[in-house]
Amino acid sequence: MVEMKNIPFPIPTFDLTGKVAIITGSTKGLGEGMAIVLAAYGAKVVVNSRSQADCDQVAANINNMGGTAIGIKADVRVKEEIDDLVAKTVQHFGKVDIMVNNAGIGITKRVTEMTVEEWDEVVDTDLRGVFLGAAAAAKVMIAQGIQGRIINISSAGGLVGTKNIAAYCASKAGVISLSKTMAMEFGKYGITANAVCPGYIPTAINTKPLEIPRVREQIINKTALKRLGRIDELAAVVLFLASDASSIITGAYIAADMGTTCN
């Protein structure tokens, strides 16, 4: 940045020094990218998934990069485990400023072929998990008087229908709706709640479809930018929502989808 004098208002900052961030589902893919970028901007980060060994490994990598991270295992579908994740974060770092509800899964099946168990597995992770994570973090933020940030990872699939992933799309649309209601309930405490709707970004969640050249081409053709996204580009959107620079945004969703849903 350029050193300037006599600027008549505070310059927006993305600096997260002194902030504590939990990112669920951050041992790989988009969540890992978010953890690295938030740590690079000064946040102390909590890496999470269902495997303590994976959490420890990614946290160690971030510490080796010069950031500050710990790993805490929790299954986002289980209230006791999510509450424990938040409680252990407070024990270790003293507070929670930023809660990124990112953990998510997809099961590819037609509506007529999907079992109730498959439906429940997706909705429990992608929608119930966001509710549990946001509620647990918000309770601590409110109790501690922290003007925190709740960032919920939805999907372009939450904005438009997509064949064969009905439970995923329904959950992700629910995440957008949930974020709006949470924004209304948490606003008086200065806590913002927003959703991010990524388009296709190559990770383990979409290896199979992206390996089929015809499908990959169709996905790319649907975007305005005629390309897939990158992990660092999505992390940049989360950084913005986590930072003071987004202070007047709440109850919103940001389509970070290369222009897939703009037509």
- Residue of 16, 86, 138, 201 that binds ligand NAD (CB under 6 A): 201
Q: What is the rounded CA–CA span in Å between residue 134 and residue 79?
A: 11
Does the footprint of ligand NAD cover residue 205 (CB under 6 A)?
Answer: yes
Q: Which residue has the tokens 């439970």?
A: 167
Q: Is residue 154 within 8 Å of 174, Cβ to Cβ?
A: no
132 closest CA partner among 192, 191, 76: 76
Of 98 and 146, the one with the shorter C-beta distance to ligand NAD is 98
Does the footprint of ligand NAD cover residue 253 (CB under 6 A)?
Answer: no
Reduced to 3 states, what is the DSSP secondary structure of residue 47? strand
Does the footprint of ligand NAD cover residue 125 (CB under 6 A)?
Answer: yes
| Total site size for ligand NAD, rule CB under 6 A | 26
Q: Which amino acid is at 152?
A: N
Does the footprint of ligand NAD cover residue 87 (CB under 6 A)?
Answer: no
* First-to-last C-alpha distance (Å) of the chain: 36
Structure tokens at 68: 């500050």
22 closest CA partner among 78, 88, 66: 88
Does the footprint of ligand NAD cover residue 260 (CB under 6 A)?
Answer: no
| Shortest Å, Cβ 201 to ligand NAD | 4
* 189: annotated active-site residue: no
Does the footprint of ligand NAD cover residue 223 (CB under 6 A)?
Answer: no
Of 20 and 219, the one with the shorter C-beta distance to ligand NAD is 219
Does the footprint of ligand NAD cover residue 71 (CB under 6 A)?
Answer: no
151 backbone dihedrals φ, ψ, rounded to 5°: -125, 115
Does the footprint of ligand NAD cover residue 173 (CB under 6 A)?
Answer: no
Does the footprint of ligand NAD cover residue 30 (CB under 6 A)?
Answer: yes
Number of H helices, E strands in the chain: 9, 7
Does the footprint of ligand NAD cover residue 155 (CB under 6 A)?
Answer: yes
Give Cα 226 to chain centroid, integer Å.
24
- Residue of 198, 222, 238, 246 that binds ligand NAD (CB under 6 A): 198
The residues that touch ligand NAD, with contacts defined as CB under 6 A, are 24-25, 27-31, 49-50, 75-77, 102-105, 125, 153, 155, 198, 200-201, 203-206
Q: Could you give the residue numbers annotated as active site?
A: 168
